[in-house]
Amino acid sequence: MTTLPEKTEKKLGLVIDLDTCVGCHACVISCKGWNTENYGAPLSDQNAYGANPSGTFLNRVHSFEVQPTGDEAAAQLVHFPKSCLHCEDAPCVTVCPTGASYKRVEDGIVLVNEQDCIGCGLCAWACPYGARELDKAEGVMKKCTLCVDRIYNENLEEIDRIPTCVRTCPAGARHFGDLGDENSDVSKLVAARGGMDLMPEQGTKPVNKYLPPRPKDELQELDVLAPFLEPIAQEAKGFLGWLDRTLEKL
């Protein structure tokens, strides 16, 4: 009797390397730009150039000073990118009274149908990660879509069929792939680096993973990660080369 291979549930998501992120906010800017043009209604800003600006962002970067254990250990500055984690057990979907928030069966991406959203804010209240944004101009909730309009867009070059934050990151700190496939590059990277769930005690089972910062005396781990980092380094060189050529023309 032939045994059929077990079907693996597709879980598209991000792996973010907190050791590599330099806090440049390139991901924030590219996310704002791409989604303002392609999200549907633009991501609005209020009093953008005034004393108290505010606006809608689907990706933000926070910076923290962390003191490692040990009296002589030097403090480390950790940059922490934050967006929707596309949880397997997404509380935002559970509490939504209109069904506007939903999780796609085919790839696990959590989205918002803005036509059904009434802007009640229950999803933002339920999300333990603060990943929902109420657009004040539109009166509806917005969130990271993993650039679903890019990753399946056959009109784009294959290299561009990834979230814009991943494509833009000059440090190669952001990775995209199928975390439901244990043989995918992102799953192997999570296994090699001890990738973590954010606030696992919440029981939401986030798909996105974070790679913890490495202590400065453990940089030899880079030898283990070389097969994973080499393609990323090549992509970064391509981006930086383009940037250098562009600046030379200015």
The better pLDDT of the pair 13, 72 is held by: 13
pLDDT at 37: 83
pLDDT at 65: 86
Full-model pTM: 0.80
Mean pLDDT (whole number) for 98-126: 96
Confidence grade of residue 244 (pLDDT, cut at 50, 70, 90): very low
pLDDT above 70 for 36: yes
Confidence grade of residue 100 (pLDDT, cut at 50, 70, 90): very high
Write the pLDDT tens digit of every residue in 128-168: 999 999 999 999 999 999 999 999 999 999 999 999 999 99
Running DSSP on this structure, what letter comes out for residue 233? Answer: H
pLDDT at 227: 53
Confidence grade of residue 9 (pLDDT, cut at 50, 70, 90): confident
The better pLDDT of the pair 119, 236 is held by: 119
Q: Is 96 within 8 Å of 119 (Cβ atoms)?
A: no
pLDDT at 213: 84
Write the pLDDT tens digit of every residue in 192-239: 999 999 999 999 999 999 999 876 655 444 454 455 445 544 544 444
- How confident is the prediction for the chain on average, in pLDDT? 85
Q: Report in angstroms the alpha-carbon separations of 188 from 24, 116, 177, 229.
A: 26, 38, 11, 12
Q: Is the alpha carbon torsion for 195, 198, 199, 203 positive or negative?
A: negative
Tokens of 211: 């790679």
- Domains assigned to the chain: 12-66+74-249 (3.30.70.20)
The better pLDDT of the pair 94, 224 is held by: 94
Mean pLDDT (whole number) for 39-50: 85
pLDDT above 50 for 247: no
Q: Report in angstroms the alpha-carbon separations of 93 from 9, 35, 116, 169, 221.
A: 19, 22, 13, 30, 39
pLDDT at 74: 76
SS3 26: helix
Confidence grade of residue 67 (pLDDT, cut at 50, 70, 90): confident
pLDDT at 66: 79
The better pLDDT of the pair 113, 5 is held by: 113
